[in-house]
Structure 1
Amino acid sequence: MIGTMRINLIVATVAGIFTFALSIGNNLLLSTCLKSVYSFLILFVLSFGFRWVLGLMIGAEHAAVGTAQSLPAEDSPVGQSLDLTTPDLDDETRQMMKANLGDNNVSTGTDMQFSPLNPPKLVTKNNLDPEQLAGALRRMSED
């Protein structure tokens, strides 16, 4: 476990005081004190669980570090350094970039022409037979 019982006491005391302060306006004094004690006890126990989980996580981390250090290190320089420099642009690279830019400009001018969007028109039926509408409504209400 990580830490001491002092951490549990501090967390539980803060929770008890917070619960007391929030419930004193709405409850009787006995009810408020009882809720504060419950809050204190619950968070005191939960702090043990939280400290135990943290201890397991840190213990597993230390075990992983210990096994990594115990393995023999290879003398391979692969992965030991990182080169963050960009290569210099030579003439061939510049020519390739100019050729690619030139091809894109030509194709956009001939292939891509503007054409407006022409959606289909919606047609409404204004002259419907009232008897057909009533029959359709009756069939829909039966289902």
Structure 2
Amino acid sequence: MAINFTPHEVKINLKNRTVLKTFIKNLFVREGQGLKNLQYVFCSDEYLLQINQEFLQHDTLTDIVTFELGEDPAITEGEIYISVDRVKENAQKFKVTEEHELHRVIFHGALHLCGFKDKTKDQSALMRQKENEYLELYFGTN
């Protein structure tokens, strides 16, 4: 089981990586989802927009794009792309620290891979509830 954090042409200040990797593994366990391999790629708005356009045919800026790459739906093999630019802007917009917003998005991507959606109002509400639950668990223990 591997979780990797890779910056792509951006600088990222991600503290306590080992603790965070263990926490993400436990998130998958709590949600009853197997995990084999998970790659987080931190990038710019421009790079994530290219991915969004090429693979999802969306011509909009976003903070995160998540891809499930495995063939077994019970065992996650995925890639999560996170725009550091969006994280910084959203932190200001929502009046939270960049660290808090970055972790919200990290957990958001993991939750997508555990089967949570956010297309409808009800799905979005549940996703936000789960994000908040994991933020409390993570920051309450660190």
Given the two structures, how large is their TM-score scaled by the length of structure 2?
Answer: 0.22
Which structure shows the higher helix fraction?
Answer: 1
Question: Which of structures 1 and 2 has the bigger CA Rg?
Answer: 1
Structure having the larger proportion of residues in strand: 2
- What TM-score, normalized by structure 1, do the two folds share? 0.22
